[in-house]
A and B are shown apart, each in its own frame.
Chain A
C-alpha cells in the first residue's frame, strides 16, 4: 500500500487541487478558510474534498451519474474549461451561481457511450444433418479425441 507521509493539510489540498487543473504554486488558503474542517486533525481530507467536488458536480452534471464517475468527470470538465484560472475554488461548496460557469461545464459534458437500449439476440441453432456417413465420422472423431485426451 502506498504510504502517504503527511506534512500538513495544506499540502494535501494543494496536491488534490492539481487534479482540477490548479498549478503547483496555488495557495489553497481560500478554500481552507471556507471549509475549516479541512484543517482539522481527524478529517479525511481527500474524502472531504471529494464530497465538495461531488456537491459541485451534482449541480452541473446529469443526475443519473454515479458518485465516482461524477467526481472524475467534473475534474476533467473543470480542467478542460480552465476553471482553475476562471473561477478558482469558488464552485467547491457554497452557493456559487455563475451562468458562464454552468454553461461552460454543461457544454463539455460527454458520454463515452450512448445510453443502453437493450435488444435480445437469440442464439441460432446449427443442427447438422445426420447421415450414416457424418454419424460415423463424428463417432470416429470423438473416440479418437477421447483416446488422445485419456
Chain B
C-alpha cells in the first residue's frame, strides 16, 4: 500500500508565512518593548547599535522558538511530512545503493565495526543484495593506513555474502570530504542509483537504509533525503548531556524544520541518501575565488550541495519519521569547540555562496541560519559589551538634569526596570519552553520510563538547562573568537575529530584561561562600578569563571557513568540498545586492531605486506617524494634491519616506504633470513 499526503504550493507558502510571520511579529513586539525599555541617557549611536543587535538576536531566538512550536504540534498530531510518497515497507527495491564511508585518520576499528553491524542489519531486511559498501579513505597517517587495510581484510571476511565491502585510499585528500565523494562519483557513481553518505561515527539501521532507498525508488524527483541522526554511545558527562538534549528536544526541532522546509530541506553531510545522477549533474563544487578562509575549496559542502541539487530542480527532504539513524557527540567541551571552529569557518564561507544567482530562496535561508548559528555569538557579546559601556557611561558621566534647553522640570534618566525584566523573562521563555515541549512529547507517548522515569526526566531537563546556561557564555566567547579569526583571515585546516578521552586540567587551563580571566575581570568591574548590572550579568560571569572546572568535570567518563546510574540524562537507546548498536560493539571486540605499527607491521608480516602491495594500485599514482625523504627512510630501515634500532620515521618517510613495496620486500626477506 502506498501512502501519501499531497501538499499544494499554497499550503507550503502558508506554512512559511506562519513561521516567519510569527517570527516577524514577535521580533517587532520585542523590539518595540526594547526601545521603550532602553536607558534614555544612552546616546543615539549606542541606541541604534543596541537596538540592531537586539533585533538580530531576537529574530534568531524567535525563529527557533516558532519553528519548534510548529514542530511540537506536528508531532502531537503524528502527522507525516506531506508531499512525499511512502511505499509499503515490503516493496522490493529497484535501484542499487552504495553506502559511502568517507574517513580521514579516524579510528578504523570503530569504522569497520559499524559497517559490519550495518551490513548484518541489512541482511535481516532480505534486501541486502542491493547494497555495496565503500570505505573511502583520505587517511594521511601511514600507521592508520596499514591498520585500515588490515581491518578491511578482516571485515570483508565477516561481511555477509550479499554485501560487498570495498576500500580505496586517495594519496591526497583534495577538497576533503566533498572531493572524496566526488572522486567516488567520478569513478563508480554510474554503477549506482543512490548513495548513502555516512560519517566515521555514523550508524544506520538496515530497515532505515532500505526505507530510504524505497523512498528514492518511489519519488523520482527527489534528490536528497536526510534522516535526522540521534546521538548515542556517549560516555562523558558532557556528551551525555548533549545526547539527552538531542534526543528529547531534537524531534521537535527536526519536525519544526520539516514543517516549513518541506521539499526544500537541507543536507547535513551524513546519514542521508542522495540520488547519484542528481549529485553528478548538480554538485561538482567549484573552488571559490579569493584566498582562504573565504576562498578556496568549500569546507561545509553539505549545505552547498543541497542548494545546488535544489537549484537543479530536485527536491530535498528532511524526514523526522526515519528512525534508526545514529551518530556520536563530541566527548568534551573542547572537542565540541574544535568542531565548531571548523563548522564556523565553513558556514562563514557560505556568505559568499549565499549571494549566488539562481538559488532557491529557502536555500538562502539555510545559509543564513548556518551563518547566524555562529554570528549570533559575537552579536550577543557585542550587545552585552554595549550594555556594560552604557552603564559605565552612566556612572562616569552623570546625567545632565538641567540641560541648556529651557524646561520647567529637570530631565530624569529613565530606566524601565520592569520592562527589562519582562524582556529577559520572555527571552528565557523562548529559549527554555521548546525544551519542555520536547519532554511533553514523551509524556504524551507515555515513554517517560525510557528516559529515566517521570522525575528522572524533569531533573535531567532542569540540569540540562542549568548546564546550557553555564556553558552558553563559554561557547559565546569561543564562537566570537572563531568569527574574529575567520574575518581576519586565519584558516583552520582540517583536523580529525577527537572521539574519546578526558580533558586534563592543564589542557582546560590553556583553553579556558581567557574565559576565566574575562569572567573575573567583568565581575570585578561590575561589582565596583555598576552594581545593578552585576546581578544581571551573574549567569554569564559565573559560567565564564567556572569554565575550567566545568570543562574538566564534564569531560569525565566516571561522571557520565554516575549520572546514568542515578537516572540522569537517560535516553531510550540506553534502555533498549538498538540491535545495530549492540552489533557494532560486538564487532568492535571481534576485530583485531593490533597491527598498528605501520611499516614495521608489513616487514614482519608477509601476508600483510602482500595484501598491502596488492591493494596499492587502487590508490592511484604514487606521489612524488623529496630526495631526502627517500634517502632517510632507507637509512632508518637499514639501521632497523642491521642493528634493530627502532626507526623514528617521519610521516613522509613512512608513507614513502609504503608506496615502495619492493624495498619492504627486501627488508622482509632479510628479516626472514636472520
Q: Is the CB of A19 within 8 A of B166?
A: no
Q: Is the CB of B673 within 8 A of A7?
A: yes
Number of contact residues on A: which range applies? 35 or more
Q: Is the CB of B638 within 8 A of A124?
A: no
Which residue in A4, A12, A76, A117 is a CB contact (below 8 Å) of B191? A117
Q: Is the CB of A66 within 8 A of B667?
A: no
B661 cross-chain contacts in A, Cβ below 8 A: 68, 72
Q: Is the CB of B672 within 8 A of A72?
A: no
Tell me the minimal C-beta distance from A54 to chain B in angstroms.
13
- A86 interface hit (Cβ, 8 Å): no
Question: Beyond A14-B672, A112-B152: 4 further Cβ-contacts under 8 Å?
Answer: A2-B670, A3-B642, A126-B353, A126-B356
Q: Is the CB of B610 within 8 A of A2?
A: no
Q: Is the CB of B187 within 8 A of A116?
A: yes
- A123 interface hit (Cβ, 8 Å): yes
Tell me the minimal C-beta distance from A103 to chain B in angstroms.
17
* Contacts known (A3-B638, A117-B191, A118-B190); A76 close to B611, Cβ less than 8 A: yes
Tell me the minimal C-beta distance from A19 to chain B in angstroms.
4
B98 to A, closest residue via Cβ? A114
A5 to B286: give the CA distance in the assembly, Å.
55
Most buried by B among A1, A12, A126: A126
A85 cross-chain contacts in B, Cβ below 8 A: none
B673 cross-chain contacts in A, Cβ below 8 A: 4, 7, 11-12, 14-15
A116 to B166: give the CA distance in the assembly, Å.
13
Most buried by A among B168, B285, B609, B673: B673
Tell me the minimal C-beta distance from B309 to chain A in angstroms.
10
B284 cross-chain contacts in A, Cβ below 8 A: 121-124
Q: Is the CB of B286 within 8 A of A72?
A: no
B291 cross-chain contacts in A, Cβ below 8 A: 145
A70 to B369: give the CA distance in the assembly, Å.
53
B510 cross-chain contacts in A, Cβ below 8 A: none
A16 to B446: give the CA distance in the assembly, Å.
68
Q: Is the CB of A124 within 8 A of B610?
A: no
Q: Is the CB of B611 within 8 A of A2?
A: no
Q: Is the CB of A112 within 8 A of B663?
A: no
A4 cross-chain contacts in B, Cβ below 8 A: 666, 669-670, 673
Which residue in B132, B285, B614, B666 is a CB contact (below 8 Å) of A76? B614
B307 to A, closest residue via Cβ? A126
A123 cross-chain contacts in B, Cβ below 8 A: 284-286
Chain A stretch 7-42: residues in CB contact (< 8 A) with chain B = 7, 11-12, 14-16, 18-21, 24
* Contacts known (A68-B613, A76-B611, A126-B356); A119 close to B185, Cβ less than 8 A: yes
Which residue in A15, A116, A119 is a CB contact (below 8 Å) of B280? A119
Q: Is the CB of A19 within 8 A of B638?
A: no
Which residue in B186, B353, B615 is a CB contact (below 8 Å) of A118? B186
- B232 interface hit (Cβ, 8 Å): no
Which residue in B156, B166, B638 is a CB contact (below 8 Å) of A113? B166
Most buried by B among A112, A123, A128: A112
Q: Kindly supply a per-residue 1/0 record for chain B positions 348-360, scoring 1 wherever the CB is within 8 Å of any chain A CB and 0 otherwise.
A: 0000110111000
A45 to B, closest residue via Cβ? B669
Q: Is the CB of B613 within 8 A of A69?
A: yes
* Contacts known (A2-B663, A122-B281); A127 close to B357, Cβ less than 8 A: yes
Number of contact residues on B: which range applies? 35 or more
A49 to B634: give the CA distance in the assembly, Å.
24
Q: Is the CB of B618 within 8 A of A114?
A: no
B356 to A, closest residue via Cβ? A126
B615 cross-chain contacts in A, Cβ below 8 A: 112
A118 cross-chain contacts in B, Cβ below 8 A: 186-187, 190
Q: Is the CB of A12 within 8 A of B187?
A: no
Q: Is the CB of A129 within 8 A of B666?
A: no
A-B contacts, 29 of them at CB < 8 A, read A2-B638, A3-B642, A19-B609, A24-B672, A46-B666, A68-B616, A68-B661, A71-B613, A72-B614, A76-B607, A76-B611, A79-B606, A113-B134, A114-B164, A117-B187, A117-B189, A118-B186, A119-B280, A120-B186, A120-B280, A121-B284, A122-B284, A124-B284, A124-B286, A125-B286, A127-B356, A128-B352, A128-B355, A129-B357
* Contacts known (A79-B606, A128-B357, A148-B489); A114 close to B283, Cβ less than 8 A: no
- A73 interface hit (Cβ, 8 Å): yes
Which residue in A15, A116, A145 is a CB contact (below 8 Å) of B669? A15
Q: Kindly supply a per-residue 1/0 record for chain B positions 137-166, scoring 1 wherever the CB is within 8 Å of any chain A CB and 0 otherwise.
A: 000000000000000100010000000101
Q: Is the CB of B638 within 8 A of A1?
A: yes
Q: Kindly supply a per-residue 1/0 record for chain A positions 41-82, scoring 1 wherever the CB is within 8 Å of any chain B CB and 0 otherwise.
A: 000001000000000000000000010110111011001000
Q: Is the CB of B355 within 8 A of A72?
A: no
A2 to B637: give the CA distance in the assembly, Å.
7
Tell me the minimal C-beta distance from B645 to chain A in angstroms.
13
